[in-house]
Amino acid sequence: MTVRELLSRIDSKELAEWFAFYAIEPFGYFRSDLQSGIIASTVANCNRSKNSQSFKPADFMPFGEHVRDRQMSSEEMKSIMMGIAERSNEKK
């Protein structure tokens, strides 16, 4: 199913519920990258010297700043939700 087909089948309330669920329990590529980062940091920390700094899972994830470390402002959340609502209303 494409994203367009999915959005044609659910309303903005259900989409907002999925956003809320993702905020609590992330899934998809981010989650896979985190799991891989945990494994990689564990292996690296087992093999590092005593004087070196310990590694974090984010050190092995494919993006710079760890997305989950940054809190989204209420204005950013409002902007995202308004965009979703506008797109949802355009299709009706």
Determine the Cα angle at 21 with ends 72 and 14, to 5°. 105
| Tokens encoding 80 | 């995202």
Tell me the whole-structure pTM to 2 decimals: 0.44
11: which residues sit within 8 A by CB, 6+ positions away?
Answer: 88
Per-residue pLDDT tens for 49-79?
888 899 999 888 876 554 555 677 788 778 8
- The token duo for 55 is 């590694």
> Residue 45 and residue 69: Cα distance in Å, rounded?
21
